[in-house]
Amino acid sequence: MFTLRLEGITTSDGKRILSPIAFSLEEGKSLSLVGESGSGKTTLAYAILGLLDPQLKVSGLEINLGKENISSLKEKEKRDRRGKNWVYLPQNGIAFLNPATSIRVQLGEALKKWGVKKGDFEAVEASLLRKVGFKDPYPILDKYPYELSGGMAERVVFALSLSPLAELVIADEPTNGLDPKNIDIFTELFSKHFSSSTRLIITHDIDYASLSDYILVLNKGVVMEYGPSKQVLENPKSPYTKALIEATPRHGLKGYVQIRDASPSCPFYGFCPLAKEECLKEELDKRQDKRYWRCIQR
């Protein structure tokens, strides 16, 4: 079981980046974090992995993975777990790779951390690259990151993430830069390889988010809705969730514009067609079974 509780994250000058968040996931289940750029999705991922900028102030963070409180681990222990037990797939593959070393060397560093014998490195490296869609992996091994296209770099980073020891996997816009064929390869391999891991996926892609077991919707650092993905997408309780769904191609790319002044009570208040004066006065949190949403509606 993975559980997370967070009271908030603020900048050094007191600006709030994330408001209170709490959720839990059974082992082997997946959660998609959905929201616009700047909603706090990647900040939450960094907080989980212990990679936040030290200038940010974190309040009331408690993360449990299995029976262990991983938020209380020392930095060395966290560093030892990252890349082995805790896997992070970054949004920008090229930026993540070390430009000064070959793909062979970078894969070798990962294999060493996973406990693979040095004599087996080349065979395992080639196998990993084949898994992520490279038909002829050996020429790739001796290339440097600047010699790769964006999509190739994304696939190499995915290969670097395929730790057999992964308990927690966080993927940040994992389908970014991939063509449809490689998106299918990624989706199948990601689900199969990490089938027993807790999986958190950061995405703008509602269709891809629908493949997760649960969805958590963020807007400007505030949780707007949370629940089983099928329920959230088929019957959204928050007008913001509905707006995100309607902004997808299959729903006509409907946008939204600001129609009134903003409100501290709800980050979508200024854009919401259903907003009322009561939204400024009443308690907005609603709960029903495994569902949570922040709205006066319903």
Domain ranges of the chain: 92-162, 232-294
Q: Which one-letter amino acid corresponds to residue 257?
A: V
Cα-atom radius of gyration of the chain, to the nearest Å? 20
| Total Cβ atoms within 10 A of residue 276 | 12
pLDDT number for residue 251? 59
Interior CA angle at 273 toward 269 and 278, to 5°?
55
Is pTM beyond 0.85 here?
yes
Half-sphere exposure of 256 (CA within 13 A, CB side): 21
**What do you get for the CA distance between the two ends of the chain, in Å?**
31
Output the tens digit of pLDDT for each of the chain's 298 residues.
Answer: 999 999 999 999 989 999 999 999 998 999 999 998 889 999 999 999 999 999 999 999 999 999 899 999 999 999 999 999 999 998 877 888 999 999 999 999 999 999 999 999 999 999 999 999 899 999 999 999 999 988 888 889 999 999 999 999 999 988 776 778 878 888 888 889 999 999 999 988 888 899 999 999 999 999 999 999 999 999 999 999 999 998 776 655 677 778 888 888 899 999 998 888 888 877 788 888 889 999 887 6
pLDDT number for residue 183? 82
What are the structure tokens assigned to 292, written together? 């949570």
Collect all residues with Cβ–Cβ distance below 8 Å to 207 and sequence separation of at least 6.
Answer: 248, 250
Residues paired with 202 in a beta bridge: 33, 172
